[in-house]
């Protein structure tokens, strides 16, 4: 194991995959000379050159489309969006081209490409730069969607995404780039579609993904001080979702709280709750509850922003409610 930041884990994944396969290249705004807006691509231009680490103008739709064309002719592009909020401009290429090309071409054109960048809210970036895009993107057949919450998962899932022959969305946590954690040495690859129990427990299941996994883990620590042992399940992949893992934890604890970053209506937690009621209804001792962002554009004011976000206190309160402790 090596201790590294989430940022460096992503950088290591990019470097290793570019060394392994010369068809892999990185393209996006400020990825080359500036070494990435969040320094994820630090040193890659110096090692691989400007043909494989490509700076683009501020044209998300344009360079996403270039990536789709490159994938169609056998390259393996990694398209970096400075933030997924800016990628709204490129969703035509992501949804109408990348996700549908294999099906609409009758299997003639695979789409071995990755779209990656930070997702969700950071600190006081305002409503237009603080949106969580997972429910939008996971809704689309033809895409795979991952949301790593730790440095080890960031490296393992990104490497798997680069090797996959389908378009894969990587939703990185903007607030996680400085987070440190142990990352396995060697060729660390995590299969897509496999969840992981981050903490074992028996009283309530906290199901989450991305940076909300850390909220769930902190909530589990707080609950443990009151004798409540929460199990934390990290989905890791949002499409395809690991339904057997969801069912297994709920059958074990009989209670479920989903912690998600986005809004309530049509959010990821609604899909988790649907799987639970279909596959584990008879094991439930309480309704499934969801912890999510307030139903409003993200406020800019620090106090209002804090109030709008899902957090540890709200997660603990939901867990206590399904346990009938309050």
Residues 169-202 pLDDT 10s: 999 998 999 999 999 999 999 999 999 999 999 9
Cα separation, 274 vs 262, whole angstroms: 17
Residue listed under structure tokens 């294999």: 102
**What amino acid positions are annotated as catalytic residues?**
60, 129
H/E stretch holding 66 reads helix 60-72
Which pLDDT does position 225 carry in this prediction? 96
2-183 and 196-322 in the same fold: yes
Instruction: List the chain pLDDT tens, one digit each, 326 residues.
Output: 999 999 999 999 999 999 999 999 999 999 999 999 999 999 999 999 999 999 999 999 999 999 999 999 999 999 999 999 999 999 999 999 999 999 999 999 999 999 999 999 999 999 999 999 999 999 999 999 999 999 999 999 999 999 999 999 999 998 999 999 999 999 999 999 999 999 999 999 999 999 999 999 999 999 999 999 999 999 999 999 999 999 999 999 999 999 999 999 999 999 999 999 999 999 999 999 999 999 999 999 999 999 999 999 999 999 999 999 98
**pTM score, whole prediction:** 0.96
- Return the number of other C-beta atoms located less than 10 Å from residue 25's C-beta: 21
Which pLDDT does position 326 carry in this prediction? 82
Cα separation, 261 vs 194, whole angstroms: 20
Write down the domain spans for the chain. Answer: 2-183, 196-322
Residue-by-residue DSSP string for 113-171: -EEEEEES--SS--GGG----HHHHHTSTT-EEE---SHHHHHHHHHHHHH-SS-EEEE
Which pLDDT does position 273 carry in this prediction? 98
On whether the CB atoms of residues 16 and 154 are closer than 8 A, the answer is no
Cα separation, 36 vs 26, whole angstroms: 11
Question: At the top level of CATH, which class does the domain 196-322 belong to?
Answer: alpha beta
Coil, helix or strand at residue 211: coil
Cα separation, 68 vs 97, whole angstroms: 7
Cα separation, 320 vs 316, whole angstroms: 6
Dihedral sign for Cα atoms in the order 87, 91, 92, 94: positive
Burial class (CB in 10 A: 0-12, 13-18, 19+), 301: exposed
Sequence-distant (6+) residues with CB within 8 A of 145 are 134, 137, 138, 168, 169, 171, 237, 238, 239
The CATH number assigned to the domain with range 2-183 reads 3.40.50.970
Q: Note the Cα 210 to chain centre separation in Å.
A: 5
**What do you get for the CA distance between the two ends of the chain, in Å?**
42
Q: Note the Cα 6 to chain centre separation in Å.
A: 13
């Amino acid at each position: 194991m090596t201790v590294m930041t989430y940022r460096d884990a992503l950088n290591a994944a990019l470097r290793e995959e570019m060394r392994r396969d010369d068809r892999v290249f990185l393209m996006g705004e400020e990825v080359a000379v500036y070494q990435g807006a969040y320094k994820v691509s630090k040193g890659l231009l110096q090692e691989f050159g400007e043909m494989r680490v490509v700076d683009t103008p501020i044209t998300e739709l344009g360079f996403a489309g270039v990536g789709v064309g490159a994938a169609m002719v056998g390259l393996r592009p990694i398209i970096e969006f400075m933030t997924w909020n800016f990628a709204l401009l490129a969703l035509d290429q992501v949804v109408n081209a990348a996700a549908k090309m294999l099906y609409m071409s009758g299997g003639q054109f695979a789409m071995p490409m990755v779209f990656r960048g930070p997702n969700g809210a950071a600190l006081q970036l305002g409503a237009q730069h603080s949106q969580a895009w997972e429910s939008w993107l996971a809704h689309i057949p033809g895409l795979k969607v991952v949301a790593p919450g730790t440095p080890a998962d960031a490296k393992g899932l990104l490497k798997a995404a680069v090797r996959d022959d389908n378009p894969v969305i990587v939703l990185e946590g903007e607030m996680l780039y400085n987070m440190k954690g142990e990352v396995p040495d060697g060729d660390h690859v995590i299969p897509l579609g496999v969840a992981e129990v981050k903490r074992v427990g028996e009283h309530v299941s906290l199901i989450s993904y991305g940076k909300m996994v850390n909220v769930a883990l902190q909530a589990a620590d707080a609950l443990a001080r009151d004798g409540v042992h929460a199990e934390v399940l990290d989905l890791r992949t949002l499409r395809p979702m690991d339904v057997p893992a969801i069912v297994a934890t709920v059958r074990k604890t009989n209670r479920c709280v989903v912690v998600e970053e986005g809004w309530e209506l049509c959010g990821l937690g609604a899909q988790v709750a649907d799987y639970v009621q279909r596959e584990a209804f008879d094991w439930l001792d309480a309704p499934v509850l969801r912890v999510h962002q307030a139903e409003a554009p993200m406020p800019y004011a620090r106090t209002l922003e804090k109030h709008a976000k899902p957090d540890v206190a709200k997660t603990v309160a939901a867990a206590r409610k399904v346990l009938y402790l309050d």
